[in-house]
Structure 1
Amino acid sequence: MRFALAASLLALSVATAAAAAPVPAINVETLKDITRTLSDDSFQGRAPATPAEDKTVAYIADRFARAGLKPGNKGSWYQDVPLVELTPNAAFPISITGGKTPITLDYKTDHITWSYQVQPRIDVAGSDIVFVGYGINAPERGWNDYAGLDVKGKTVLILINDPDWKMQSLDGPFGGRAMTYYGRWTYKYEEAARQGAAAAIIIHDTEPAAYGFNVVVSSNSGGKLGFDEPGNHMDQSAAAGWITNDAARRIFASAGQDYDALVAAAGQKGFHAVPFTGMKASLSFDQSIRRQKSKNVVGIIPGKKRPGEYVLYSAHWDHLGICEPVDGDNICNGAVDNASGTAGLVALAEAYKAGGQPDRSVVFLAVTAEESGLLGSEYYAANPIYPLARTVGGVNMDSLNVIGKTNDIVVVGPGKSELEDYLKRAAVGENRVLVPEPTPEKGYYYRSDHFSFAKLGVPMIYFESGEDLVNGGRERGSKLAADYITNRYHGPKDEYDPNWDWSGAVSDLKLFYTIGRELADSDAWPNWYPTAEFRAVRDKSRAGK
């Protein structure tokens, strides 16, 4: 009886909360205009630290001002982010010797490789090759693929994702189907560098990687950005990259190894790395070095009652710039990813101005270099303009829905934050339901800017439309989503289309607004759930505020 009464009261409170704060109209023309403008060829794909950046950030600042925001960094719209760009000067092969058959891996066809070390010449000569499985060192899970192994100066071959990614359940040693950070390519390189590897090479496989090798090439050809900081990243591996699955199989065969058998063994606890005795990898290339500051764009609506407490909205403005050509087009325009999310920031700012001044301050942050490893958001999180301990929480937007309204909402990385309760309340007003993340193995939680803030304790929620379209159902939604990933994601075909259906973006933005407005007009401090990996750092941060 008590449970039934509590459930009834909860349902009433949810409905009341959803109805209490009407959402101002979301301006579709703002979404269209900004997305169309930022993804125009004249913006050259919005690569950071290029001439196109100046044009991009000036445009965003102007739209922030027109939406009624104030400059968010002591009178300036910008926060400088010091970056260094490293660009290989020519295509180069990887030579594999010492096996049954010499192998030459061609640049962009068989491999895409670069360096994080800030030096003009990269040489990896006669480096021993070791297969290290998934390349994970997780003592809390009793797993160490580097156990008893010295890989200093060696080339390590690494599988993408987690060992249990093929499971359909979520109860495996690494979260089952759901990717952990150990499965991300960024972690693989970080751990290989900690172990002293000279070269860290990930073996591509489309399903566990969540994209084709064409995406790997388009995302990593040309210049690579990193923070410009003391030490010049000499603690990183000299070379990092990917090889195709076919190239990996040729290497394994030349070593007299059964590729499929070793991959299966690598998924089992207690796996021991396999040196490819006598086999050596060699590669060398020159690279140009360019240092330049990029910019985050920051706007704010000061709070009227508690201006020293902050709610955060984030979206990245950058994309890949000039990239691998498709049908003669070499500009990766990034219309959906993420001109649309940047447009969403401005549309939300307009809605806030229409809704009246909030009690807490609301920060609108358009960050740079997300496509280069979340660099802009990571820099802000490490050098916050507004203290993270006083940042209540926020919402990240990465690619708005332009295929129509859906009945469902997908929380990316569910079960982590009390902000999910805010989303559940907001969803009532849009007649939408939360559904489980359909592809947790793709690790989207670790692939966008909310992660930079989450790591330092700030509750951030990242969600998106599901695939159950109001017009066409799940079959049509799944087909359109797959078409985008296959044919447009991180490629020149991600261009503005005047025929897009913006109803889904509008519905999502209403949810973004409702969550942020509830945070901004309350004195609540939502936290991570007790089991979330970010709870301890948040509790420590808040205790010392």
Structure 2
Amino acid sequence: MKKQLYTLGMVAAVLSACSTSQTPTASTAGTGATPSAVAVGAVSADPTKYAQTITAADLERHLRVLASDSLEGRETGERGQKMAAEYIAKHFRANGLTGPVKTGANPYYQTFDLEKSSWGDGYVMVGSKKFSMGKDFFVLGASPFQNEEAAQLVFAGYGIDDPAYSDFANVDVKDKVVVVMAGEPKKADGKYLISGTDKMSTWSQDMRTKTAAATKKGAKAVMMVMGSTDAEFQQLTRRYASYLNRPSIGFGTTASQPRAAMLYVSPTMAANLLSTKPETLTNYSTSVTKAGKAVASPYKVASNVKIKTARNRQPLPTENVLGYIEGSDKKDELVVISAHYDHEGIKDGQVYNGANDDGSGTVAVMELAQAFAQAKKDGNGPRRSILFITVTGEEKGLLGSEYYTDHPIFPLENTVADLNIDMIGRHDSAHASNPDNFIYVIGSDKLSSELHAISEAANQKYVKLDLDYTFNDPNDPNRFYYRSDHYNFAKHRIPIAFYFNGVHEDYHQPTDDVEKMNFRAAEKVSRLVFYTAWELANRNDRIKVDSNKK
């Protein structure tokens, strides 16, 4: 078990700060209101009283509704998801939370349209040679090539546009299809050129980073070369083949919100696009490593390329569910507590109830909302405002949280942190001997050392869980930091902490049921999130963004 530990001195200092920083000063209280009315309540209150309202029994009561067969697996945009949204919104309303959405019929719903679609005919012609979708290439997300269309190609190295390294200098990609290599360059000493260390950057970890860079430059599509051989390409893209005939859900491409399409292509197809041989494609990486910087394209791109990736589309309205507690003297600053409430729906006649993924996080958010609401009713409301958000579309690519951060109800610059809960109350094989008393914490130190210290201190003072940082390693192959909704906040440089109990044999299976949940374990984790949120909401100073770890 790999852990990251702060010294006892650091933890003691933070614990001291937790108590001393709560006394309102003249500057913090001088807001035009009486200090006792705006700040003293939460400062003087014992958070334990409210943490204890978060109980295993209540978590189970809510989860037996949300993970029941009657909600049909909470598939994004479908009836069961909307039933879950209604249940969550009623809970927020019943506990006195405000619906903060000013538009639409329901102030607790942030509604938006996704697109449900399935593939039709798909191919790429390079001269007279035809490459087939599902064999030679795969499209991720939407594509603008509904009908056969001539495409102008350009090669742009790795497709990276970073202060430390850019492939776009003197390269015009507007309205073109950009061919790029997967991954990122290394230096001659084997370290990554961008980070200067052995740690990969987001340019390797998250393909959306390259899509976003190409979109910003005006590109129409990105073709990323996957693998060094066609056999490796098939291995790397095997899971996409199984999705090819299934309907998928995404944002789609519109004139007002264009997105460069992303295609994963085989080395043989890439070689034809670049007028070379598959075995010579690695020469480009070698030349970049030797130069220690981006180099000019050595390839002559094909000039007679036509693309068709037909898509059958229909709009799919869906909604994030939001509950809001306004703060007192620091109400313009916001703490976000999040989880996704969608799951996999019904497949082959079986309901995928998603009790753990992520019914568990959803009911935790509901319980935290109730606890903070009770504190406010008692005159101990938070100094900063708190937004409780359960998002849709996580299983389809973190879509609900992406929509919120692209269309925030409250300014992102005023958002202090996001505490995200996804899959708690189970255990993985690494914790079989200690299933009741651990939690993986991911990302708490990546943007703010203070958030990490607050989390550690809250745990040591109140909960005493085993905090496991195994998956916080930037080179961990699971890449969990990029795989839940907190990441859409983190990419906007909002500090996050992700609470997660690991993957088990029922992950994304129809057997992920309520009966397998450990609600006592979920209660402990939920209370840890509560204590951390309490400190974030009530401390004098907003936590600093003082690091940029990957």
TM-score grouping bracket, smaller chain normalisation: 0.7 to 0.9
Partner of 2:473: 438
In 2, are the aligned partners of 1:312 and 1:391 still within 8 Å (CA)?
Answer: yes
Of 520, 540, 544, 2:537 maps to 520
In 1, are the aligned partners of 2:127 and 2:305 still within 8 Å (CA)?
Answer: no
Residues 154 and 321 (structure 1 numbering): CA distance in 2 closer, same or farther, change over 3 Å?
farther
* Separation of aligned partners in 2, 1:497 and 1:110: 42
Does residue 177 of the first structure (1) align with residue 208 of the second (2)?
A: no
1:211-234 Cα deviation digits (max 9, x unpaired): 9645546778524432897x344x
* Separation of aligned partners in 2, 1:126 and 1:387: 42
Alignment of 1:356-375 (within 5 A): 357-360=380-383, 361-375=385-399
Alignment of 1:141-152 (within 5 A): 141=164, 143-151=165-173
Shift of 1:278: 4.1
Aligned residues: 488
1:40-59 Cα deviation digits (max 9, x unpaired): 45444434444444222112
* Separation of aligned partners in 2, 1:263 and 1:67: 60
Shift of 1:407: 4.9
Partner of 1:191: 213
Does residue 78 of the first structure (1) align with residue 115 of the second (2)?
A: no
1:64-83 Cα deviation digits (max 9, x unpaired): 34556443446944233332
Shift of 1:272: 4.2
Shift of 1:422: 0.8
The one-letter code matched in structure 2 to 1:521 is N
In 1, are the aligned partners of 2:336 and 2:389 still within 8 Å (CA)?
Answer: yes
SS across alignment from 2:294: coil
| Identical-residue share of aligned pairs (%) | 23
TM-score where L is the length of structure 1:
0.72
Of 350, 368, 377, 2:401 maps to 377
Of 267, 285, 288, 1:248 maps to 267
Partner of 1:541: none
Shift of 1:135: 1.4
Does residue 449 of the first structure (1) align with residue 485 of the second (2)?
A: yes
1:369-388 Cα deviation digits (max 9, x unpaired): 34455443344345444454
Residues 345 and 371 (structure 1 numbering): CA distance in 2 closer, same or farther, change over 3 Å?
same
* Separation of aligned partners in 2, 1:81 and 1:228: 18
Alignment of 1:90-105 (within 5 A): 90=120, 92-98=121-127, 102=129, 104-105=131-132
Does residue 135 of the first structure (1) align with residue 159 of the second (2)?
A: yes
Partner of 2:322: 298
Alignment of 1:14-53 (within 5 A): 14=14, 21-22=47-48, 23-24=51-52, 26-53=54-81
Shift of 1:502: 4.3
Of 463, 473, 481, 2:498 maps to 463
Does residue 412 of the first structure (1) align with residue 480 of the second (2)?
A: no
Shift of 1:313: 0.9
The one-letter code matched in structure 2 to 1:82 is F
Residues 172 and 433 (structure 1 numbering): CA distance in 2 closer, same or farther, change over 3 Å?
farther
1:105-142 Cα deviation digits (max 9, x unpaired): 343x554326646x7x613545466664431122x10x
Partner of 1:542: none
Of 257, 263, 282, 2:278 maps to 257
Shift of 1:395: 1.3
* Separation of aligned partners in 1, 2:190 and 2:455: 26
Of 73, 77, 87, 1:59 maps to 87
The one-letter code matched in structure 1 to 2:401 is S
Shift of 1:284: 1.9
Residues 504 and 160 (structure 1 numbering): CA distance in 2 closer, same or farther, change over 3 Å?
farther
The one-letter code matched in structure 1 to 2:543 is P
Tell which deviates more after alignment, 362-371 or 176-185: 176-185
Of 336, 356, 362, 1:312 maps to 336
Does residue 399 of the first structure (1) align with residue 423 of the second (2)?
A: yes
* Separation of aligned partners in 2, 1:359 and 1:16: 19
Shift of 1:192: 2.9
* Separation of aligned partners in 2, 1:397 and 1:511: 11
Residues 202 and 402 (structure 1 numbering): CA distance in 2 closer, same or farther, change over 3 Å?
farther
Does residue 425 of the first structure (1) align with residue 445 of the second (2)?
A: no
Alignment of 1:331-350 (within 5 A): 333-350=353-370
1:467-510 Cα deviation digits (max 9, x unpaired): xxxxxxxxxxxxx74x66xx84xx55573252233454333322
Shift of 1:515: 0.8
Residues 344 and 285 (structure 1 numbering): CA distance in 2 closer, same or farther, change over 3 Å?
same
The one-letter code matched in structure 1 to 2:322 is V
- Contiguous gaps of at least 5 residues in structure 2: 1-6, 20-45, 428-434
Residues 521 and 496 (structure 1 numbering): CA distance in 2 closer, same or farther, change over 3 Å?
same
Partner of 1:499: 516
1:345-396 Cα deviation digits (max 9, x unpaired): 1122244356654233432111233445544334434544445455443412
Residues 181 and 255 (structure 1 numbering): CA distance in 2 closer, same or farther, change over 3 Å?
closer
The one-letter code matched in structure 2 to 1:85 is E
Shift of 1:163: 3.5
* Separation of aligned partners in 2, 1:381 and 1:265: 38
Residues 176 and 317 (structure 1 numbering): CA distance in 2 closer, same or farther, change over 3 Å?
farther
The one-letter code matched in structure 1 to 2:88 is I
Does residue 112 of the first structure (1) align with residue 107 of the second (2)?
A: no
* Separation of aligned partners in 2, 1:114 and 1:431: 39
In 2, are the aligned partners of 1:95 and 1:104 still within 8 Å (CA)?
Answer: yes
SS across alignment from 2:74: coil
The one-letter code matched in structure 2 to 1:314 is S
Shift of 1:425: 0.7
Of 264, 284, 309, 2:308 maps to 284
The one-letter code matched in structure 2 to 1:526 is I
The one-letter code matched in structure 2 to 1:248 is P
Residues 176 and 249 (structure 1 numbering): CA distance in 2 closer, same or farther, change over 3 Å?
farther
Residues 11 and 135 (structure 1 numbering): CA distance in 2 closer, same or farther, change over 3 Å?
closer
The one-letter code matched in structure 2 to 1:438 is D
In 1, are the aligned partners of 2:123 and 2:133 still within 8 Å (CA)?
Answer: yes
Q: CA RMSD in A?
A: 4.4
* Separation of aligned partners in 2, 1:339 and 1:306: 31
In 2, are the aligned partners of 1:410 and 1:464 still within 8 Å (CA)?
Answer: yes
SS across alignment from 2:308: strand
In 2, are the aligned partners of 1:36 and 1:496 still within 8 Å (CA)?
Answer: no
Residues 378 and 261 (structure 1 numbering): CA distance in 2 closer, same or farther, change over 3 Å?
closer
Shift of 1:279: 7.8
- Contiguous gaps of at least 5 residues in structure 1: 1-6, 467-479, 535-545
In 2, are the aligned partners of 1:337 and 1:398 still within 8 Å (CA)?
Answer: yes
